[in-house]
């Protein structure tokens, strides 16, 4: 199975499994992560990658029209044991293809070299930076046109 073969919308009965992938890496409280995942699952804007084993090993959470009326990739998480297999790229691509708007945005901290490299490799364009979101670590904003694939 390729990295993109097992991507589908999350079901309500998968919330706990999605949260297990989340782990402590995002700096969100467990309660806030649960709220985001439950809400996105209910509206159909949480895509999961299901491994050949049947376990969820990554997800992408999209906030429809979350940035100036454009879809926003709010979270991209791949289990540490499943990284470097193309899952993150496949999830981002699926989010773009499923977009309700013609342009999709996302952001990451300037210090997150792995995510910035993934976005650059995936054809995302630099939109700009925001200072003051995380003191000492600017937020770097990217976009991708949904029509570009």
Give me the residue spans of the domains in the chain: 7-148
64: confidence class by pLDDT, cuts 50, 70, 90: very high
The pLDDT of 8-23, averaged and rounded, is 89
Measured at the CA of 51, the angle between CA 50 and CA 53, to 5 degrees, comes to 120
Match 């998480």 to its residue by tokens: 77
Helix (H, G, I), strand (E, B) or coil at 2: coil
Q: pLDDT tens, 87-140? A: 999 999 999 999 999 999 999 999 999 999 999 999 999 999 988 888 889 999
CB 47 within 8 A of CB 88: no
Q: What percentage of the chain reaches a pLDDT higher than 70? A: 91
What is the model's pLDDT at position 1?
43
23: confidence class by pLDDT, cuts 50, 70, 90: low
What does pLDDT average to over the chain? Answer: 89
Dig out the tokens for 5 from the structure.
């073969």
141: confidence class by pLDDT, cuts 50, 70, 90: very high
End-to-end CA distance of the chain: 21
What is the C-alpha to C-alpha distance for residues 129 and 94, in angstroms, rounded to an integer? 25
Reply yes or no on domain 7-148 having CATH 3.20.20.70.
Answer: no
Cα–Cα separations (whole angstroms), residue 97 to 14, 38, 84, 103, 105: 22, 22, 22, 10, 13
31: confidence class by pLDDT, cuts 50, 70, 90: confident
What is the C-alpha to C-alpha distance for residues 22 and 77, in angstroms, rounded to an integer? 6
User: Is pLDDT of 4 > 90?
Assistant: no
The pLDDT of 57-63, averaged and rounded, is 94
Measured at the CA of 120, the angle between CA 143 and CA 44, to 5 degrees, comes to 50
What is the C-alpha to C-alpha distance for residues 24 and 33, in angstroms, rounded to an integer? 10
């Amino acid at each position: 199975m390729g990295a993109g073969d097992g991507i589908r919308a999350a079901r309500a009965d998968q919330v706990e499994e999605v949260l297990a992938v989340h782990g402590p890496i995002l700096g969100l409280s467990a309660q806030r992560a649960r709220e985001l995942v439950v809400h996105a699952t209910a509206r159909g804007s949480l895509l999961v990658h299901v491994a050949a084993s049947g376990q969820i090993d990554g997800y992408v959470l999209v906030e429809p029209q979350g940035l100036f009326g454009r879809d926003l990739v709010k979270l991209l998480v791949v289990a540490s044991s499943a990284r470097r297999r193309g899952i993150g790229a496949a999830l981002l691509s699926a989010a773009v293809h499923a977009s309700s708007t013609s342009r999709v945005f996302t952001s990451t901290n300037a210090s997150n070299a792995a995510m910035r490299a993934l976005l650059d490799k995936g054809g995302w364009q630099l939109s700009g930076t925001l200072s003051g979101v995380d003191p000492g670590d600017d937020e770097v904003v990217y976009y991708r046109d949904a029509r570009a694939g």
